[in-house]
Structure 1
């Protein structure tokens, strides 16, 4: 059994060996802090679930998911470094990114970097799908940027465990997930849909919204920036009927990469003539 937290987590205080430096953000499940590991001398991110949500049921669900996801060793997947009770708080430790993709997309991203971000995201999710793991909550807030424009998808297992326990139904974040996932039937095709949403946003500057009927808002900007073959890949990933999408991230990655040369040439040509 775990004990109740001795005190709230506050910036500037210590939690075990971690010095809390700043609050990065908060969701319905947890608050994330930037911290300094005083023993190892490195910066880390601490995800601390709200104490009232840390039930035996959630912990068991998290352990089950963590056993699957802790084995995911890929450069585009954020690893869980540790998960433990510290002074009564359940703390999930991971490497510290520079910022989230949600922060980055507030400003325009050059086409080739945008293409590379989506490619890296697909690489990470494709690896997970090959290991039999579905993410269920792919969104810009869960994608962290590191040095040299490397991205890592985080929250494998964490969000899924929390939302399964709290809601008892569909997992994921409304506005970021496939229609069938909202009804509690997630699959690898649901992750494909979420990646399609991010790809559309990153290339068009607009976030697609239900009922996802084409042309979506931002279609004109998308056509100006993206080759028709790339648009076709994004459109297929956003089919409302999951059977009409790519079956998983490995399949989408393969087709996405086939557009790379055409897409980059199209972008460069438009940049010169635009």
Structure 2
């Protein structure tokens, strides 16, 4: 489903941010996830991001996610958060959280791609990365309560 759309919103500092919704990637209990192009203020180019969007009154859990992810900005084991924007769509206030995106997909996608058959060295590599990420999360006093292949992004 491709639905390219330019969206404007305000970030936490009251600055207008424009981004382009490229397509819908999926949905969850909180709202939808979209592939988006964001302006890269450093290079002047664009970067791809996954955007979690939901109606503002239902955005408490996503706003909490922003607060938590900001504590991991220096970690290469945890998905990067690029910030948040509040926008207006058809008269509804929408909260948008911008996250790191990689086209490799999730661990569930990888398992499906290989029909459940993955080499032992590859499995060891993914498990090591998973444990390193969990160690990082636990070191900050958090516990991941929704750990499943669908929620684990795979990066090359």
Which TM class, normalised by the smaller chain length? 0.7 to 0.9
Are 2:130 and 1:128 equivalent residues in the alignment?
no
Q: Which has the larger radius of gyration?
A: 1
Partners of 2:66 and 2:83 within 8 A in 1: no
Cα-to-partner distance string for 1:166-188 (whole Å, 9 max, x where unaligned): xxxxxxxxxxxxxxxxxxxxxxx
Q: Which runs of 5+ in 1 are unaligned?
A: 1-9, 150-274
SS of residue in 1 equivalent to 2:37:
strand
Q: TM-score, normalised by structure 2?
A: 0.75
Q: TM-score, normalised by structure 1?
A: 0.45
**2:87 corresponding residue in structure 1:** 86
Cα-to-partner distance string for 1:104-126 (whole Å, 9 max, x where unaligned): 11112221111111110110111
Partners of 1:69 and 1:133 within 8 A in 2: no
User: What pairs up with 1:1-274 in 2 under 5 angstroms?
Assistant: 11-16=3-8, 17-38=18-39, 40-49=45-54, 51=55, 54-55=56-57, 58-59=59-60, 62-64=62-64, 66-72=66-72, 73-87=74-88, 88-98=93-103, 99-106=105-112, 107=114, 108-146=117-155, 149=156
Instruction: Give the direction of change, closer, same or farther, for the CA distance of 1:22–1:44 in structure 2 (3 Å limit).
Output: same
Aligned residues: 133
**1:221 corresponding residue in structure 2:** none
Give distance in 2, aligned partners of 1:12 and 1:65.
26
Instruction: Give the direction of change, closer, same or farther, for the CA distance of 1:12–1:62 in structure 2 (3 Å limit).
Output: closer
Cα-to-partner distance string for 1:34-75 (whole Å, 9 max, x where unaligned): 1111454111111112x2xx327x53x654553333112321
Instruction: Give the direction of change, closer, same or farther, for the CA distance of 1:63–1:121 in structure 2 (3 Å limit).
Output: same
4+ residue stretches of structure 1 with deviation over 2 A? Answer: 61-69
Partners of 2:77 and 2:136 within 8 A in 1: no
Q: Which runs of 5+ in 2 are unaligned?
A: 9-17
Give distance in 2, aligned partners of 1:36 and 1:94.
11
SS of residue in 1 equivalent to 2:154:
strand
Instruction: Return the structure number with greater relative CO, CA threshold 8 A, min gap 6.
Output: 2
> Would you tell me which structure has more helix in proportion to its own residues?
1
